[in-house]
Homo-oligomer: A and B are copies of this chain.
Amino acid sequence: MNEWYMQEGPESDVVMSTRVRIARNFNGIPFPSKMKKEDGQLIIKRVKEAVFGRSSAIGENFKFINIQELSPIKRQVLVEKHLISPNLAESRIESGAIISGEENISIMINEEDHLRIQCLSAGLQLNDTWNLCNKIDNLLEESIDYAFDEKFGYLTCCPTNLGTGIRTSVMLHLPALTMTGYIKGILEICSKLGIAVRGLYGENSEAAGNMYQVSNQVTLGLTEEEIISNINNIAKQIIDQERTIRKQLYTQNSFRFEDRIFRSLGLLSNARIITSEEGLKLLSDVRLGVDMGIITDIDIKKLNEILLLVQPASLQESVGGPLNPEERDIKRAETIRSKLK
């Protein structure tokens, strides 16, 4: 297991992951929503050549996935791993993804834009993740002519991506700020600063498991480095606040705090039926316990792995076939139990 999420990154007591993605389009070809089938095929061919071609510096560790050839479950597994977007999973046009062995790099082809280059890292690693993304972008640009405008920058299908085309986000685990309700004030401040805060699975989702994705909304008028730096600063402030409140809660009533954490661990290690919602809630408590040194025989990597494995499609993939919701809840409990043993 050398996947990125099986590593422990900086500030991993609060920051689960860092993600940077950039949107790029081919010059002279309509955006995916308007293009012909042959355009789609041509783009896939050209991107594959750029990555796997004889002169490419990046191809060795990558594999191409044809989205149309995947079963619905396998598509959804990629969504659950944040390797492709829900949009791409539902795509009915020629589309694909080129994914690295460590699953830290994913190049989505013919999503909303022709290209979405995405890099993921454990913990808070905005600069490194951006640098990796930038490197992939430069390598592709050696053989691909991007749609670029001197005034607007990179042209994208949706105007909210115009300019740098960059979306950078950090996934934060904020149980203490959520428990105390202080998260509301933070959400308000972020909104005023043009920073979006969303739940685990992107837009339109609640903060299941106390996990919040903090990302930039503005892509135009700032350099990539300025955008990265803004998110970094905001993230560091939220991290500090979360840590302060965690300590306060623990100091106020350590028995009650530990009771909550160990009860959740006890349920996760013993229950025979666990819904997705309950699983996220209990895993959040256990993660908090690990982060604070209250639970010492489980590490964050194990919890990251469990978080991925207990999602609906991943559970179904593990048994090699469809499971109804009840069967998933049983398989989820079984998976968590065996991983925590």
Chain A interface residues toward B at CB < 8 A: 255-256, 258-259, 262-263, 265-273, 330, 333
A338 to nearest B CB, angstroms?
14
Find A262's partner among B258, B259, B265, B270 (CB 8 Å cutoff). Answer: B270
The chain B residue sitting closest to A274, CB to CB, is: B259
Find A266's partner among B255, B270, B330 (CB 8 Å cutoff). Answer: B270
CA distance A258 to B274 in the complex (A): 12
Contact A255 B272 (CB under 8 A): yes
Contact B259 A333 (CB under 8 A): yes
The chain B residue sitting closest to A263, CB to CB, is: B271
Q: A255-B273, A259-B271, A263-B271 are in contact. List 5 more A-B contacts (CB 8 A).
A: A255-B272, A263-B267, A263-B270, A266-B268, A269-B270
The chain B residue sitting closest to A329, CB to CB, is: B255
Q: Say whether chain A's binding surface is mostly helix, strand, loop, or mixed.
A: helix
Chain B hits for A330, CB < 8 A: 255
- So how many copies of this chain end up in the complex? 2
Chain B hits for A258, CB < 8 A: 272
CA distance A259 to B330 in the complex (A): 9
Contact B262 A272 (CB under 8 A): yes
Chain B hits for A255, CB < 8 A: 272-273, 330
Contact B270 A256 (CB under 8 A): no
CA distance A256 to B330 in the complex (A): 9
Interface centre among A265, A267, A272, A330 (most CB of B within 10 A): A272
Chain B hits for A269, CB < 8 A: 266, 270
CA distance A330 to B253 in the complex (A): 12
CA distance A268 to B270 in the complex (A): 11
Closest 9 CB pairs of A and B: A266-B270, A266-B266, A259-B272, A262-B270, A259-B273, A258-B272, A263-B271, A266-B267, A255-B272
Chain B hits for A273, CB < 8 A: 255-256, 259
A16 to nearest B CB, angstroms?
24
Chain B hits for A268, CB < 8 A: 266
CA distance A271 to B272 in the complex (A): 18
CA distance A255 to B256 in the complex (A): 30
The chain B residue sitting closest to A333, CB to CB, is: B259
CA distance A256 to B267 in the complex (A): 14
A146 to nearest B CB, angstroms?
54
CA distance A333 to B314 in the complex (A): 36
Chain B hits for A265, CB < 8 A: 266, 270
Chain B hits for A262, CB < 8 A: 270-272
27 contacts between A and B (CB under 8 A): A255-B272, A255-B273, A255-B330, A256-B272, A256-B273, A258-B272, A259-B271, A259-B272, A259-B273, A259-B333, A262-B270, A262-B271, A262-B272, A263-B266, A263-B267, A263-B270, A263-B271, A265-B266, A265-B270, A266-B266, A266-B267, A266-B268, A266-B269, A266-B270, A266-B271, A267-B267, A269-B270
A331 to nearest B CB, angstroms?
11
